[in-house]
Amino acid sequence: MKVDVLLGLQWGDEGKGKIVDVLTPNYKVVARFQGGPNAGHTLEFENQKYVLRSIPSGIFQGGKINLIGNGVVIDPALFKGEIDALEASGHNLTDRLYISKKAHLIMPTHRLLDSASEVAKGDDKIGTTGKGIGPVYTDKISRNGLRVGDIFHNFEEKYQQATKRHKKMLDNCNFNYDNLAELEEEWFEGVEKLKTFKMIDSEQFVNDQIKQENSVLAEGAQGSLLDIDFGTYPFVTSSNTVCAGACTGLGISPHSIGEVFGIFKAYVTRVGSGPFPTELFDEVGKKMAVKGNEFGSVTGRPRRCGWIDLVALKYTIMVNGVTQLIMMKSDVLDEFETIKLCVAYNINGERTATFPFEVNEDITPEYVEMAGWQEDMTKMQSENEFPEEFNAFLSFLEEELEVPIKIVSVGPDRAQTIIR
C-alpha cells in the first residue's frame, strides 16, 4: 500500500481542504505533513462551513484516524481554539486525532518574533500570517526548538530557556512584549488540551499502516510556489510544501508515495507580498475576487487574483511528480466572455516557457485566449453537462500540462465536485 499525497500547485488556498474531505472515504488515515496554523482549509457540507488550521481535513467523514505529522508546527493556544470550536459543534476528536511527538511547538514568542521580523523588513515585508511560522522553523533547523514530546520532559525548564533567548532577540529590535504573560496563559491552557490527545511516534504509525495495507492520504498545506526551496523566495513560507515534504514530514520513504494529486484553481490567487506575473489590477481581477470570494480564511486579507499561469504550473507539476490534477473554482469563471491562459513569459525581449530563477516585474506574460462558457456550472453533476467551451479549456490544459484532470470542482460544497 502506498501513501497518496494531495498538495497545492499555486500560492495556496487552491481548495485542498474541500478535496481532502471529498477523498477521505477512500482512506483509513489522513495526515498533515507540514505547515501549521498559517493554513486555513475550508470545508462546506450540509450547510455547515468549517475552517481548519492545524487539524487535518479528514475529520468529518466517519471515524477515520487523522494525524498531525512531525513536519507540522503546532501552536497549542490556536489548537485548543480549534478543538473547542469543533467540540462545540458536536465533533469530538479525542480518540481519532493523533499527534506526532516530533512536531515542533510554536511558542508565544515565535509569534512576537514573526511580527518583529515583519516590522524590521518594512516595505520588503513578506506579509506572513503572523503565526510564528518563520521563527519556529528557524528554531527547528538551528536545533533550538521545542517538540510536542518535550511536554513530558523538563518542559518548564526548556520553555523558559527558549523564551529567555527569544526575549533577548525581541529586546535587540526594541519590540514590545508586554502582552507576553497574557499569551502565555492561553498557551499553557493549550498545552493541557494537547496532553489529552494521543501523542505518538508517528513515523512508526504511518509505516505500520503501510505494512498493514491501510490507505493513507497525506494532506499538504500552502502551495508549491510558497515552498522554501522552489517557491518565489524569499516570499515563501518556511517549510517544504512539495511532495518531498511528505517524506520528511511523515517519515516515509519516497518508494511509499503513490498518487500525487496536484490541485489548482482555474485562475490564480496570492495573499501577502511577492511576485505574481499574471496578476490583474483591473476590473477583471476584481470580478474574480468578488465571484471567488477571495478573502483569506485565516487573516481575512483580500487575495490578489490573476489568470492561470501554465509556466508556473508546469514547473510545480514537475517538482512534485504530479500524477493527477484537480481543478477548482471553475464556476468562478462562469461569466467571463474570454479566458486567458499564460503560456510563456517574455523577459527583457526573450521568450521562455521555463519558470525562471528570478520572478519579478520584468516578466510580461504571453497569453492564449479562449472563449468563456458563460453558463452556470454550479449545479452540474457530471462531465456530460460541461459546456463545449469548458471542454475545450480542459483539453487545452491537459495537453499543455500532460497530466489528466480527474476532478473538477464547481462550487465550495462537498457535493459540487465532479469526478471524471
| Residues in contact with Mg ion by the rule CB under 5 A | 13, 40, 297
Q: Is position 82 an interface residue for ligand GDP (rule: CB under 6 A)?
A: no
Of 239, 197, 219, 187, residue with least CA distance to 78: 187
- Kindly tell me which of 109 and 297 has the beta carbon lying closer to Mg ion: 297
Task: Tell me how far, at minimum, the Cβ of 171 lies from Mg ion, in Å.
Answer: 34
∠ Cα 188 189 190 (to 5°): 85
Q: Is position 12 an interface residue for ligand IMO (rule: CB under 6 A)?
A: yes
Task: Tell me how far, at minimum, the Cβ of 221 lies from Mg ion, in Å.
Answer: 8
Count Cβ atoms below 10 Å from residue 330 Cβ, excluding itself.
Answer: 24
Binder of ligand IMO out of 5, 59, 103, 126 (CB under 6 A): 126
| CA distance from start to end of the chain | 24
Q: Is position 147 an interface residue for ligand GDP (rule: CB under 6 A)?
A: no
Instruction: Return the one option of ligand GDP, ligand IMO, Mg ion, none that residue 332 interacts with (CB less than 5 to 8 A, by type).
Output: ligand GDP
By CB under 6 A, what part of segment 130-159 binds ligand IMO? 131, 133-134
Can you name the residues that pair with 405 across neighbouring β-strands? 325
In the numeric block, which cell numbers belong to residue 226? 510558497
CA distance 275 to 270: 9
List Cβ neighbours of 147 (8 Å cut-off, separation of 6 or more).
101, 102, 103, 104, 105
CA distance 400 to 241: 24
Task: Tell me how far, at minimum, the Cβ of 169 lies from Mg ion, in Å.
Answer: 29
Calculate Rg over the CA atoms of the chain.
21
Task: Tell me how far, at minimum, the Cβ of 26 lies from ligand IMO, in Å.
Answer: 21
Task: Tell me how far, at minimum, the Cβ of 419 lies from ligand IMO, in Å.
Answer: 22
CA distance 185 to 176: 18
Instruction: Return the one option of ligand IMO, ligand GDP, Mg ion, none that residue 206 interacts with (CB less than 5 to 8 A, by type).
Output: none
Binder of ligand IMO out of 129, 232, 316, 330 (CB under 6 A): 129
Which segment (66-74, 124-132, 248-256, 361-369) binds ligand IMO by CB under 6 A?
A: 124-132
Q: Is position 245 an interface residue for ligand GDP (rule: CB under 6 A)?
A: no
- Kindly tell me which of 101 and 291 has the beta carbon lying closer to ligand GDP: 291
Q: Is position 56 an interface residue for ligand GDP (rule: CB under 6 A)?
A: no
- E strands, 152-220, are 198-200, 216-219
Which parts of 24-124 fold into alpha helices (H)?
76-88, 108-121
91 tagged catalytic: no
∠ Cα 84 90 92 (to 5°): 65
13 tagged catalytic: yes
Total chain residues near ligand IMO (CB under 6 A): 24
Task: Tell me how far, at minimum, the Cβ of 134 lies from ligand IMO, in Å.
Answer: 5
Which segment (35-43, 120-128, 199-207, 224-232) binds ligand GDP by CB under 6 A?
A: 35-43
**143 phi, psi to nearest 5 deg:** 65, 40
Which segment (93-101, 156-164, 216-224, 370-378) binds ligand IMO by CB under 6 A?
A: 216-224
Binder of ligand GDP out of 8, 56, 149, 190 (CB under 6 A): 8
Q: Is position 32 an interface residue for ligand GDP (rule: CB under 6 A)?
A: no
Q: Is position 328 an interface residue for ligand GDP (rule: CB under 6 A)?
A: yes
Instruction: Return the one option of Mg ion, ligand IMO, ligand GDP, none that residue 409 interacts with (CB less than 5 to 8 A, by type).
Output: ligand GDP
CA distance 49 to 119: 34
Binder of ligand IMO out of 96, 115, 121, 127 (CB under 6 A): 127
Quick check: 194 and 148 in contact, CB under 8 A? yes
Exactly one of 4, 21, 41, 309 is catalytic; name it. Answer: 41
Quick check: 53 and 76 in contact, CB under 8 A? no
CA distance 109 to 391: 51
Binder of ligand GDP out of 21, 44, 139, 227 (CB under 6 A): 44
Task: Encode burial over 113-148: b for 16+ CB neighbours within 10 A, e otherwise.
Answer: bbbbbbeeeeeeebebbebbbbbbbbbbeeeebbbb
Q: Is position 37 an interface residue for ligand IMO (rule: CB under 6 A)?
A: no
Residues assigned a catalytic role? 13, 41
Which residues of this protein are in contact with ligand GDP, per CB under 6 A? 8, 12-18, 39-42, 44, 292, 297, 328-329, 331-332, 409-412
